[in-house]
Amino acid sequence: MLLLPAADALALADERAAVVWFDREPDTLLVVIAVPRAGRVLIRRVEGEGSATLESAALIVRGALRALAAGAVIGVERAEVAPRVRATSLTMVEIHGRGSAPRRPPPAWLASLGWAAAYDAQSPVAQGLAGRFGIALERLEVGAAAMVGLPADIEDPRARLTLSRRHLAAFAGLRAHAGTRLHLVLGAAAGVVWFARSTVSHGLEVEPAPPKTTTTLLAGPEALLRWLPWGGALGLSLQLAGDFVPGAPEIGYRVEGRFRPVHRLATPVDQTEAVRTYRDRLRSRG
């Protein structure tokens, strides 16, 4: 039978102007083009087999779609079509009038919440809660990202330093791959990062420097892989990024007027010193 109800459902679900399908009869290819909004159907039979038949069918479809795009009326009223055509393959077709642009997908909101870890190969791994919020405009994704890190310790026999990291950044990326269930987004982020540092001495020979929070800039590339197993708005994502923070400082001790580094971080913690020796303090007073 002629699948006009199915054609109506397809056109309504995706706002398509026409639905095209084909059927094979003995020595004949049947071409059917339904225009649900106008309530009309165009049916053409192409005799023969082989590539010449397929080419003729393609020319019929192209001519009909061009006529629709130009505002013409094609086919006959649906009531005149007897429901005796067996449909085997349906194709949705979007028609654009002269001078009109293709219909763009509507903007989509993006939100994610998860756990992040930052590692620079020398200082402790910074871990914390991370979130992203943005909007997708076709292939472009833009928004804001934030992370609130948990405190991490650097310790030696003389002192213990506690470090924590927070950042707020803007991101932008392009979907390099946008399948039904898998998205790959390549982009970059830039923003502000805060590093808080406090020091506890293990003995009288070390005088800890006062607690301090350092504010600086960060920027870097990022790649995000998003998996939507149910094909909807809920899914899982994995992000890899590289943060560049200029002017990475050293943390260490100031002994006899000379700074001796303990750990070099890829993130600024204290641009001057982390701890000073008690002997240096006595000498400065003398």
User: What would the pLDDT profile of 159-187 be if each residue is shown by its tens digit?
Assistant: 888 888 899 999 999 988 766 678 899 99
Which of 186, 190, 192, 191 is CA-nearest to residue 141?
Answer: 186
Domain ranges of the chain: 4-93, 108-285
What pLDDT is stored for residue 81 in this prediction? Answer: 67
CATH class of 108-285: mainly beta
Question: What average pLDDT does the chain have?
Answer: 76
The gap from C-alpha 44 to its chain's centroid, in whole angstroms, comes to 45
pTM above the 0.75 mark?
no
| Alpha-carbon distances, residue 208 vs 26, 197, 262, 266, 282 (angstroms) | 93, 11, 14, 22, 14
Q: How far apart are CA 100 and CA 104, in angstroms?
A: 12
Query: pLDDT digit string (tens) for 130-154?
Result: 999 999 888 899 999 999 989 888 8
What pLDDT is stored for residue 181 in this prediction? Answer: 79
Q: How far is it between the farthest Cα atoms of the chain?
A: 110
A 10 A CB-CB count for 19 gives 25
